Amino acid sequence: MKMTELSLIWKDKLENVDRLRMNAPVYYAVDFEIKKELELPVYGYITLKGSEANYRVKITEIKKYEPMPGIIKKTTKKLQTLLKIEEVQDIAAIPLSEFRKEDGTYLKRVTKFSYGMIEEEKEIKIKKFREFTPEEKELDENVRKKYGIALPFSVIEKLVKVKEELELNKKEWDKVIDKVVEKYKKRRVDPYEAVGIVAAQSIGEPGTQMTLRTFHYAGVAEMNVTLGLPRLIEIVDARSQPSTPTMEIYLKEGIREDEEKVKEVAKKIESTTIIDVADVITSVADMSLTIVPDSKKMEGRGVKIEDIVDSLSKLKTYKLTVELSEDRIKVRLPEASYKKLYLLGESIKTLTLRGIKGISRAIVRKSRDSSEWVIYTQGSNLGDVLDLEEVDGKRTRTNNIIEIAEVLGIEAARNAIIEEAINTLEQQGLNVDVRHIMLVADTMTYNGVVEAIGRHGIAGEKESVLARAAFEITSKHLLTAGVLGEEDHLRGVAENIIVGQPVTLGTGAVTLIYKGKKR
């Protein structure tokens, strides 16, 4: 589906965006003129760097600039237009090359202002603002009037659904609203609260009580799963490979109740390499390799000698000569070279005969919650496992967060971070409010990729030079910033402490001005 309506796009400062978000709906004065008649509401995109769109705003009114009380100004000079901003929405940074001008050319960089058109074909999926239904609008207005607060859109949507489902009378309905508003007020964060520091303390403090241990999975001695502090560190470090990757594979109805069928699927999943079912002997005398299959191991894994011969054809770069004699396979290279022979031996050992690459073991066990059979694996390969017909993709899970991001997308990875962290803490008997973990997960994934918390991720990419220098490798950060001529606007905590001024949090974020009475 293509979007055909025109959208505005302009460059602005973060402090202006913050003021818009806090004060919306609000009139916003800008330094450009909109000559075209636009069908309202229209959407605007704000870029901070000039190379990507960072915020999306809903504009419900456009008129010529005139001085008014309570407006927010983009600049102090040459103001031409007033835009009424209703809502401000964070969006994952979209490169400006995805936007088109009216003449069909693509934008590269924005300095002041231009019209933009966006195509969803290019995989830009932005959740549309939905207008209130009459029932939702009425509820929103009543809550604002009676309690002086605006409930979030999702809460209003849910309340209207509950009212319809339960058919509540006026007295019951008022009680529900009272309770919801009370709970909402309790859960609100105070303005300028240091939520990041609170979240860090809330997870870090119980983290000191965690044990360093692994856990034998599903009652099987050969399968370990990392738990406790090492697992929590793995999650926040966004490791590309967990130390013990595992999967819980659930199967579809009709298969999951039959143990034999499930075992067949497990055989299909378990990766079998040549070294699992045979010995590979190197003979320097005649510059050859001999593969000696073990009949018992081959029978257990359901592999035939022909499968080994067929798998050798995968090594096309070597141009091998393969001879089959008395249940032994002799492999020769076209030219004698000890180094090539050694490398060939290593390649042959790891050749996959059957199963899914990366899954070294698959064990069938009864589910802990029901009577169905589940496959527990050592190793993980989510993409290939989900391709299997017998697998129930909705319930199958892996503990490899990066793999989830690659296969199912960033939202799934965010949920996996939350779930894995909560499970790790709960297994140690520790209770942490889910919102702290959600904040960590959001911070790790808001850029569209899973980033570590440490210096190779979020801490290393902070806007402030002093904050980066305070974390690790001080001299490198300061020298680089000096060479590039970077500026530090002292917005965060660490940088203000370094220069010895109050941090912009809590009472330090509020400026009081005394306005004396005129005589």
Domain ranges of the chain: 7-122, 134-187, 193-221+400-458, 272-354, 462-509
Contact between residue 311 and residue 353 where contact means Cβ atoms under 8 Å apart: yes
Kind plus residue range of the DSSP H or E element containing 347: helix 338-349
DSSP3 helix / strand / coil % (the chain, rounded to 5): 40, 20, 40
- C-alpha distances out from residue 238 to 54, 117, 399, 442, 483, Å: 24, 35, 12, 13, 31
Q: Are 241 and 380 in contact (CB under 8 A)?
A: no
On whether the CB atoms of residues 50 and 110 are closer than 8 A, the answer is: yes
Per-residue pLDDT of the chain (519 residues; tens, 9 = 90+): 344 467 888 888 888 888 888 888 899 998 888 877 778 888 888 888 777 888 889 999 998 888 888 888 888 888 888 999 988 888 867 777 777 776 667 777 777 676 676 654 444 445 555 678 888 888 888 888 888 888 888 888 888 888 888 888 888 888 989 999 998 888 888 888 888 889 999 988 888 877 666 665 555 555 677 778 888 888 988 888 888 888 888 888 888 878 888 888 888 888 777 777 777 777 776 777 777 777 777 777 777 777 777 777 766 666 677 767 777 777 777 777 777 777 777 777 777 777 788 888 888 888 777 778 888 888 888 888 888 888 888 888 898 999 999 888 889 999 999 999 998 888 888 888 889 999 999 999 888 888 888 777 777 777 788 888 887 778 888 888 888 888 888 888 888 899 998 888 888 887 777 877 776
Domain 272-354 has CATH 3.30.70: yes
Give the C-alpha separation, 295 to 473, whole Å. 57
CATH numeric code, 462-509: 1.10.150.390
Burial class (CB in 10 A: 0-12, 13-18, 19+), 386: middle
Give Cα 277 to chain centroid, integer Å: 40
pTM > 0.95: no
Closest Cα partner for 329 from 392, 390, 281? Answer: 281
Distance from C-alpha of 41 to C-alpha of 427, rounded to nearest angstrom: 50
Residues 6+ apart with CB under 8 A from 456: none
- Residue 480 belongs to what H/E stretch? helix 474-484
Token pair 């978000």 in the structure block, residue: 21
**Three-state secondary-structure class, residue 208:** coil
Token digits of residue 424: 């790790």
Q: State both tokens at 64.
A: 């010529």
Record: fold of 7-122: 2.30.130
